[in-house]
Amino acid sequence: MTDKNEIPNGKDGKNFRPNVAAIVLSAKYPEKCEVFIASRTDVENAWQFPQGGIDKGESAREALFRELEEEIGTRDVKIIAEYPEWVSYEFPPAIAKKMYPYDGQIQKYYLVKLNSGAKIDISTHHTPEFSEYKFVPTKNIYDYITFFKRTVYKQVLKYFKSEGYI
């Protein structure tokens, strides 16, 4: 279990928000390798993986399951792998204003698989974060993903691919 005390600080004096992100594989994995992406309600044409902040006193894994339940309506997943490092990115100016006092996010990524029979419901939270979702082959992700997350997504997906998971 990732210890909450292991969250690294931001770099270059930047204030990064501790965050978890999930690459959610469909229940058809490994026969069919498709990942969940969803369109944000608050940013036009911004598709992403489920993610969210780590609350004070919460471990990254605890945050992972809480965020999955809040954002996609289920914690009925199995962790397949964990990215070995924390990765960070800076917000573009328009997002940085909304996310003040944070300059970006530092994230722990998990590769998870939906369990057979798991039900996704993006409207379970009182203020849904996503308006729609789909499962896409990994090669098609960049047709959707918002520009400022692409570098991190490429890095993490490349790792999981090189390790034989996707």
Which CATH number does the domain housing residue 98 bear?
3.90.79.10
C-alpha neighbours within 13 Å on the C-beta side of residue 156: 27
Chain centroid to CA 106: 11
At 3, the amino acid letter reads D
Region class of 164: left (phi > 0), else alpha (psi between -120 and 50), else beta: left
Residue-level pLDDT at 5: 47
Total number of domains constituting the chain:
1
Assess if residue 29 is contained within a domain: yes
Assess if residue 26 is contained within a domain: yes
Assess if residue 136 is contained within a domain: yes
Q: Is 53 helix (H, G, I), strand (E, B) or coil?
A: strand
Domain extent, residue 58, equals 15-162
Class of residue 73 by CB neighbours under 10 A (exposed 0-12, middle 13-18, buried 19+): middle
Two tokens at 46?
């911004």
Assess if residue 1 is contained within a domain: no
pTM, two decimals, is: 0.91
Ranges of residues in the chain with a pLDDT under 70 are: 1-6, 9-11
Q: Is 75 helix (H, G, I), strand (E, B) or coil?
A: coil
CA-based nearest residue to 75, from 124, 31, 28: 124
Helix (H) or strand (E) holding 31: none
Residue-level pLDDT at 6: 63
Assess if residue 68 is contained within a domain: yes
Assess if residue 7 is contained within a domain: no
Assess if residue 6 is contained within a domain: no
Residue-level pLDDT at 2: 43
Residue-level pLDDT at 11: 64
CA 17 to CA 41: how far, in whole Å?
21
Assess if residue 4 is contained within a domain: no
